[in-house]
Structure 1
């Protein structure tokens, strides 16, 4: 039913587009300043000239939402779903039904370090957006341009590197309720930010910024850290967390050479309050008191990035990115004296349970020949990663899948070379074939290939098509997990093979310029993704119960996504919709016997999103509304009692945010107020989510903490 409605909608709009086009002005009289993009390009260029279909989230859109983290904005994009993990305070995100291991998150073309390597399984709530110019999204495989683990797409965060003024000092403070919970000290969300930028000369530029984001947790039905009854109500439904983000940049730019050095630092502390309360002396001979053993989780992440752009022989362009990154995940336990409301042994040192260090270098050479018709790019990528897991890290981090009985430290290194060419004809057709060869220190050589094309139907219409492959290398846990005791037998598999996947997509874009200042753009895309040798934690025996990671599943997804945007005077309106289906051929080995899903038909999900921005220029005020509908989902779940799979379902839900942003004193002061999650959604009922290693389904997932309100006061001083 959803598919029929979806197709009907686009057929009607297709007719409307070409009927309306009879009244279009001469396209040569229309001038539009295109957004400049970086992702997948030989050099920065306009969005209209890109051979890839690139989506942009602008700085103004981030400000209208009063978004402080990447999770705040992506949750409203089609086919993205951010799911928080209440037991650890982290979050997981999926795209096209595949988790964060299948798309890359980058900052200025550099994959961001994570627990499992570079760019993947990134917690989006740990990425601050204060210094961001725009966010670029490419859906579908980008294996040739950005290597393995990019099957479903790329998210590239572009930071600011220049200002038009001599000096700019900006900052803000933001107060936000968490659901209906708020006060100045112990409830709500409290954010402060300061950014300073300065043009030292016409060649040199420096900037620095700092941000504090204090999320005080969500009580809901819990009673907080001072509750002393031993009935399981102590603590928080959503764990409190304090984040500090800092960044600094120095850049130089001349005619044939430019460079910058950038450093970013994250320090996050998540507080876990144990629901188990004891009534006993804290030390020998002490008085009886109520206490509990609590835990702090600390994540520290450093990103150092050096970028060089130069020209050899007055012609060949070289772009080089050099990066060192480190992420260290630590914890410490301490005793909290509930009666006295003080910590008994807070000076316990932090202990590391997961650490990743990475050296990264990516370089490209282009502009070999002076031709408007042909260009090609040679590139290399070096990725040296060392991962560490402490013994019993599963129980330390609150995980429910993998663990280690002894400290594990391993190296995974990658050396890639890639080449692509871009052919531009005089009939509006552009072609871009590409190939990448990857040499890994552990796995056999992997190869990726791609072919992209763009054809201009007219000055206002074009078609893009892409076919590309991408592999996914097994992560640290899948390779080296070893957690065996009287109750568990969960083991990694060092003989795993990289997963093999590819995607193909077709995009149609149409602009319409009418006589009454109405500007309309329309896009329609279809995408297909296939993944073979998908790695799953599989049951290899029942007695004794034994789980192991195996290349066993096959996954495919396909669907249609479309969007409209209308601009009429002071109103911007957009509407998007998608229908995507997922097919998984699930297998399990039970004592050597295959157990398979009854059929592998596609299970479809419908999504709809929309936003409206209305600017009252006289009042320097913008009113914004953001909406997303996520339809019902289905998925097969393994039932260990019957050694079979059954079809689980998840309810649909709606999201709605609204805000108003106003400038005062010639844009020096900025006030934004709004409401998030107006429909007051907290839990979504589901039987289509697994709780852990074949532990059966859960009854609901906690996606949000209810309706919340925010007020943001900012300032912008430039001189």
Structure 2
């Protein structure tokens, strides 16, 4: 560790120690009131008029102030602090996806203001959460339990909803927000070629109490993680010949993200209209580690070149929400969305000595989706009844496009496909007693590819006291095959990878229990404890398989061949007392899996243990908040295909810790500094990393982090009339 790092760590730790020692422990009743009020704001992204969901699900809320104190720029920066969520990064693609209650991103629905987000891999599921910018976000809602009736297929483990900020607080008409963030990637940093560089700008105008709008932009430049590799311009030449030592490029590929947005929020009488326009652009560069060294005929010197690649994603989002009273206390919500998602692929010859592109080998549109979406529902249909209430609605999705890498002689075989869903759903509120309620629900869905399906659920709540409550959710573990699994096409002289249009949905049972209690500590302190248990039994699970095509070549495709059972228990606790905030939770989860319906499949549960804790301390006199988060991810074991049948693979345990200081120097200028991945996690030993299709061998390690990193963020907020 060099001197600069030592000084940084010493200063950082000393500041925390001095701050904790110097401040007196006084009572902040206002903060406790804020927490109480926050726990009642359970709107699941569809507006506060959605009354039925308040009792249905366990909901966690991450506020903008929570995002700010850890300098979170995208969703991946934030979600890892949740006990039952694990972020799975992919160094080769730059993607990071969510794993919730042991289920991967295919089983978690991610919404933007209640509308599913389009991505490279589908609508709402398996989203690359590094692509979701948080600079325009008011809060993040994490809803746990099977929600297929309200949110359609694939909402098995839960829903994550990003809620856009609307309007300005206070009496100001204008607000200008500017921030700059510099971050090391491990020990790598320079102003342009290394590290992470983020700039944000947003301007908001409260025209009147009925009308507001905002415009903004964000840039996130991640220069990649070298980790011993030597970059794009490295080549080893000996005796006028290229020596391929495998050191060219980077461990994690560099990428640059640009986000532009505009929002309009208008109140017309009792009705609200909200429109969001967003454009997202991402470019991921992949450097070829193999260098070609042909001789230049004019000079006789070696001319080193490499075949590099760029994957570019462009996304346009147009979301419209209209809500208000339909009649009396009966409310309506309408959602309309058009999203256009495209992924481009370029392969080019890069001249290393001249540091420029010689020619393009491929320049193709490899994936395209146009998504039309609409949803509407009427809630609180029987407002005068103390026993019965109902919510009825519809949902429509139309996705057209293709998912392919259009290269080689088979490019013309790539055709556009269309996938449509027509859904109708209803949830009913049966208040048996003042303490006991049931909420049966059902959704009928018609899909253009696999016909009619039925999704059901029944939820129940029992209030032992005003603070001691039980929630239970039993429902379908319904997951529909996504666009890639149905229609992916990548066929040329060396590849034969195709989707399977005959896939059927997965189904099964999902059970979620949440028992929680709150305790008052003194005048302002609150202790909250929640015990959760969950069980998923998923049948006909979709997996990648190897079979033969009509020409007896190996065909890599998908089939309904696996099943999985997950059983878990978690205990979460939080204390807010005076200036202190403390959280501690643990989860114990087991999974039993069958691969390819093998007789040798493992019927026993493979268990893992995770631990999460966080600590916060506020210093009002200095306008400063100190925070730290620690997460222990225990050894995980899964059943994976092996050469002679299924085998147990595992990923070793590791511990992740972040810490930060956020302080307001003036009422307009704020500074946040801290460290991520303090224990310097990069690679974790693993024997469950697939290196090919279903039935192939596995790798020996997983890349989880970029090493210990430090960040500094300067924020300037100017409010005026």
TM-score (norm 1): 0.89
Deviates more, 1:540-549 or 1:673-682: 540-549
Q: Secondary structure at the match of 1:306?
A: strand
Matched with 1:600 is 603
d(CA) in 2 for partners of 1:665 and 1:702?
40
Deviation at 1:116? Answer: 3.2
The whole-number CA distance in structure 1 between the counterparts of 2:150 and 2:34 is 33
Task: Please say if 1:362 is aligned against 2:363.
Answer: no
**Counterpart mapping for 1:272-311 below 5 A:** 272-280=286-294, 289-311=303-325
Q: Distance in 2 between matches of 1:357 and 1:74?
A: 28
Distance 1:449 1:232, change over 3 A: same
Question: Cα distance 1:481–1:214, how it changes in 2: closer, same or farther (>3 A)?
Answer: closer
What residue in structure 2 maps to residue 708 of structure 1? 709
Give the 3 Å change call, closer, same or farther, for CA 389–517 of structure 1 in structure 2: closer
Distance 1:286 1:91, change over 3 A: farther
1:377-418 alpha-carbon deviations (Å, 9 max, x no partner): 11000000013134547x99xxxxxx9883131101000000
Say if 2:135 is the partner of 1:130.
yes
- 1:3-29: CA deviations, max 9, x gaps? xxxxxxxxxxxxxxxxxxxxxxxxxx9
Q: Does 1:500 align with 2:507?
A: yes
What is the distance in 1 between the residues matched to 2:554 and 2:666?
69
Q: Is the 8 A contact 1:413 1:441 kept in 2?
A: yes
Question: Does residue 1:457 correspond to 2:464, yes or no?
Answer: yes
Counterparts of 1:32 and 1:472, CA distance in 2: 35
Q: State how far apart, in whole Å, the 1-side matches of 2:109 and 2:34 are.
A: 36
Matched, 1:119 2:119: no
Map Cα deviations across residues 158-184 of structure 1 (whole Å, 9 max, x no partner). 110121232111121000000000011
1:146 aligns with 2:139: no
Per the alignment, do residues 344 and 689 of structure 1 end up closer, same or farther by CA in structure 2, a change over 3 Å counting?
Answer: closer
Match for residue 34 of structure 1?
Answer: 38
The correspondence of residues 103-114 of structure 1 with structure 2, limited to 5 A, is 103-114=108-119
Give, in whole Å, the separation in 2 of the partners of 1:181 and 1:599.
Answer: 44
Q: When the two structures are aligned, how many residues end up with a matched partner? A: 674
In the TM superposition, what whole-angstrom CA distance separates every residue of 1:271-317 from its partner, at most 9, and x where no partner exists? 11212223336899997533223222110111100111133344532
Counterpart Cα distance in 2 of 1:336 and 1:544: 34
Match 1:74 to one of 45, 67, 79: 79
How far apart, CA to CA, are the structure 2 residues paired with 1:225 and 1:629? 35
User: Where does residue 97 of structure 2 map in the other structure?
Assistant: 92
Match of 1:675 in 2: 675
Deviation at 1:689, TM superposition (A): 2.3
Partner of 2:579: 570
Name the structure 2 match of 1:371: 384
> Aligned-pair distance for 1:565?
0.6
What is the CA-CA distance between 1:550 and the residue it aligns to? 1.8
Q: 1:621 to 1:424 in 2, by over 3 A?
A: same
Name the counterpart of 1:697.
Answer: 698
User: CA-to-partner distance for each residue in 1:243-288, whole Å, 9 max, x for gaps?
Assistant: 0011101111133211011111110111112122233368999975
1:437-456 matched pairs, under 5 angstroms: 437-456=444-463
SS of equivalent to 2:65 = helix
Instruction: Pick from 41, 60, 67 the counterpart of residue 55 of structure 1.
Output: 60
For 1:477 and 1:49, the matched residues in 2 are separated by: 35
Q: Which residue of 2 aligns with 1:174?
A: 181
CA contact (8 A) 2:529 2:572 kept: yes
- CA distance in 2 between partners of 1:456 and 1:627 (Å): 33
Kindly report which structure 2 residues correspond to 1:231-270, keeping only aligned pairs within 5 A, or say none: 231-270=245-284
Task: Give distance in 2, aligned partners of 1:616 and 1:499.
Answer: 51
Note the C-alpha offset of 1:510: 0.5
Counterpart CA distance in 2 for 1:168 and 1:148 is 40
* Correspondences of 1:210-229 after superposition (within 5 Å): 210-229=217-236
* 2:650 matched residue in structure 1: 649
How far did 1:553 drift? 1.3
Could you say which residue in structure 2 is the equivalent of 1:385? Answer: 399
In the superposition, the TM-score normalised over structure 2's length comes to 0.88
Distance change in 2, residues 1:574/1:46 (3 Å)? farther
- 8 A Cα contact 1:573 1:610, kept in partner: yes
* Corresponding residue SS for 1:63: helix
1:610 aligned partner: 613
Secondary structure of the 2:581 match is: strand
Equivalent residue, structure 2, for 1:10: none
Cα distance, 1:675 vs structure 2: 0.5
In the TM superposition, residue 423 of structure 1 has moved relative to its aligned partner by 3.1
2:229/2:251 contact within 8 Å kept: yes
